[in-house]
Amino acid sequence: MDQLSTEARGDRPATLSPGQDTGGGDRSRLYLPAGAAAEGPYALGVDPAGAGWSYSSLRVLELPPGGLHPLATGDSEWILLPLSGGCTVHLDGGIIELQGRENVFAEATDFAYLPRDVHARIASGAGGRFALAGARCERRLPARYGSASEVPVEARGSGVCAREVRNFAAAGTFDCDRLIAVEVITPAGHWSSYPPHKHDEDVPGREVRLEEIYYFETEGGRAGYQRISPSRPGGAELLSEVRSGDAVLVPDGWHGPAIAPPEHPLYYLNVMAGPGSGPDRDWKITFHPDHREEGYR
């Protein structure tokens, strides 16, 4: 692929069928196997219109060595997160250099916050893969660099529910208007996103309504598993294998566990936004009443 070929395609993401309803138990509306929502430079493209909701987006951009990609942020704020490789972001006369990382299992990475209503150009000399986590928003915050050394890394859970959470854009960690995003490394054979929990209604002081996307990577081609169970009649339901490049949409329902294969760790990126994430941008969840909370704590 030549240097300008990605630019010629524009920055329209691949999506699900326009207006598709993600609710209910239809597995095809919740589980996106690798390549199912790919177009042009995007290996994955989920936007609100395609997902059938209002706020959350996720794109996975693949750039060859010397690759260049223009991005119009539109009505959304975005975090550019290297999955592998590094890049340079040019916007509004400024430059943000991202060192990136070898792969998602290696370490936390630096990242860039891109506000709504700007035009950016993403360039990578060595090539790489980059997640663009987005949320429709109202406020136009300044573009910023996020340092890898300042990402809070949390050891959550215990025993076979122990996992590592990289809270690079968690509520209260990094300032966004609506976007909330974290990475999770689940060790081989462990459970995470556990106990099952939900955030599909607004309950003052207890729960905040958020749309959520899971993006997965595994090692060695092994499969993990993701579970969603209904929180109300006709709600979302899924039990699916997940491998590198797969995504799962969570419009509602109890989600979890996410299960790593016995031989290899499981990575996922969580992207969340919703009417409850602004203006105070909070993350409150309700645990499934049939499960205790030790796995989370």
Whether residue 31 has pLDDT greater than 50: yes
- At 27 the pLDDT is 54
21-287: CATH, from 3.10.180.10, 3.40.50.2000, 3.40.50.620, 2.60.120.10: 2.60.120.10
As a whole number, the mean pLDDT across the chain is 89
pLDDT in tens, 203-259: 988 999 999 999 999 988 899 999 999 999 999 999 999 999 999 999 999 999 999
Stretch (H or E) spanning 60: strand 56-63
User: What does the pLDDT average to over 106-120?
Assistant: 97
Name 252's Cβ contacts closer than 8 Å, sequence gap at least 6: 23, 198, 200, 231, 232, 235, 236
User: What does the pLDDT average to over 187-209?
Assistant: 94
Stretch (H or E) spanning 6: helix 5-8
- At 275 the pLDDT is 84
Better-scored residue on pLDDT, 25 or 84:
84
Are the beta carbons of 209 and 54 closer than 8 angstroms? Answer: no
- At 273 the pLDDT is 96
pLDDT in tens, 41-93: 899 999 999 999 999 999 999 999 999 999 999 999 999 999 999 999 999 87
Q: Which of 112, 25, 130 is nearest to 69 (CA)?
A: 130
- At 6 the pLDDT is 30
- At 16 the pLDDT is 37
C-alpha dist (Å) from residue 147 to 4, 79, 277: 29, 13, 23
pTM of the model: 0.90
CA–CA distance, 96 with 112 (Å, rounded to integer): 7
**Domain map of the chain by residue range?**
21-287
pLDDT in tens, 133-166: 999 999 999 999 999 999 999 999 999 999 999 9
Cis-peptide, bond into residue 257, ω within 30° of zero:
yes
